[in-house]
């Protein structure tokens, strides 16, 4: 075993996901291969016990199951990468950009 061979966790606990609850976002995009698809603008991230829901303009833009989901802040600090599975089991990779940096 080398110094850098520590295995990385692929999931987060509910309390770790709740850090991103109620974050206001400017827009959210879904990554599909090498392209990005705009899902919505002006919304928020909501983390419940069962789901991660992103609502934009009063409509649900994205819903993921919390089991197996990972949310990580971007290095720039202006958004978060969201990875997980939707309710059908399809893998989802999205990026939510915060509406301001003072959150």
Residues 38-96: tens digit of each pLDDT = 999 999 999 999 999 999 999 999 999 999 999 999 999 999 999 999 999 999 999 99
Domain boundaries, the chain: 14-98
What pTM was computed for the model?
A: 0.82
Output the pLDDT for position 5: 55
Fold (CATH) for 14-98: PH-domain like (2.30.29)
Task: Determine contact, residues 47/80, Cβ cutoff 8 Å.
Answer: no
- Structural tokens at position 7: 């295995």
Average pLDDT, stretch 1-30?
80
Task: Determine contact, residues 25/3, Cβ cutoff 8 Å.
Answer: no
pLDDT band at 33 (very low <50, low <70, confident <90, very high): confident
Output the pLDDT for position 103: 47
Answer whether residue 12 shows pLDDT above 60.
yes
Burial class (CB in 10 A: 0-12, 13-18, 19+), 23: buried
Task: Determine contact, residues 69/82, Cβ cutoff 8 Å.
Answer: yes
């Amino acid at each position: 075993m080398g110094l850098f061979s520590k295995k990385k966790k692929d999931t987060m606990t509910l309390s770790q996901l709740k850090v991103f609850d109620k974050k206001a976002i400017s827009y959210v995009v879904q990554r599909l291969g090498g392209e990005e698809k705009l899902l919505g603008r002006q919304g928020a991230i909501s983390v419940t016990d069962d789901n991660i829901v992103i609502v934009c303009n009063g409509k649900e833009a994205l819903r993921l199951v919390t089991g197996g989901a990972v949310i990580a802040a971007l290095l720039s600090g202006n958004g978060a990468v969201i990875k997980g599975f939707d309710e059908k089991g399809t893998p989802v990779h999205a990026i939510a950009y915060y509406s301001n940096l003072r959150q």
